[in-house]
Amino acid sequence: MSLRLGDIAPNFKANTSLGEIDFYEYLGDGWGILFSHPADFTPVCTTELGKTALLKDEFAKRNTKVLAVSVDPVDKHLSWINDINETQNCDVTFPIIADENRTVANLYDMIHPNASETFTVRSLFIIGPDKKIKLIITYPASTGRNFHEVLRVLDSLQLTAQYSVATPADWKDGEDVIVTAAVPTADIPARFPKGHKIIKPYLRTTPQPNK
């Protein structure tokens, strides 16, 4: 059965480029991003892992650990990491799972037979501190992911987990947000003292509360 938003992310133990890990122990009490790659030594994957490495400080600011998955073995990962660091001018310090038996790929439904019977698609899961799945994005193998969008969504997830707000289309960190319907209009001034606008009775905005 496919995983859905709100489901508990399955735990697993796996061998990685940094040794054996327990997924839950690796995440600790923070946020996590688990993302898959069709194979090592492929061009799009090389750029994706490089971009993730270059965004290391951005993920750290958000208390988020990243973890990649590929069906190739550890020795191949280690050799590939050298290529990634060289070509993308980065330093890959996060683990890459050696999922040779496709254990993780099957747990997270990363293999889509109509796309490929053997390789994972570009699945990405954001997992909250409660170990529940907060976001699922799936790209085809031919299209590299937009990791600035991943950061944008992570900002939204962390904000809306803390406050009774939602983020509008194309929202970026620092912009106005929407007050959820669960908050009566009369309660907005006390809940959101920075002010608010009533555009429609169902559409109320306020400055981002944690800025």
Question: Residues 23-57: pLDDT tens digits?
Answer: 999 999 999 999 988 788 999 999 999 999 999 99
Strand, helix or coil for residue 158: helix
Q: What confidence tens digit (pLDDT) does each residue in 88-140 have? A: 999 999 999 999 888 898 889 876 544 444 455 578 999 999 999 999 998 88
Strand, helix or coil for residue 175: coil
Residues of the chain with CATH 3.40.30.10: 13-144
Which residue among the candidates 45, 68, 71, 178 is catalytic per the annotation? 45
CATH, range 13-144: 3.40.30.10
Structure tokens at 122: 């570009």
Catalytic site residue 45?
yes
**Number of Cβ atoms within 10 Å of the Cβ of 59:** 22
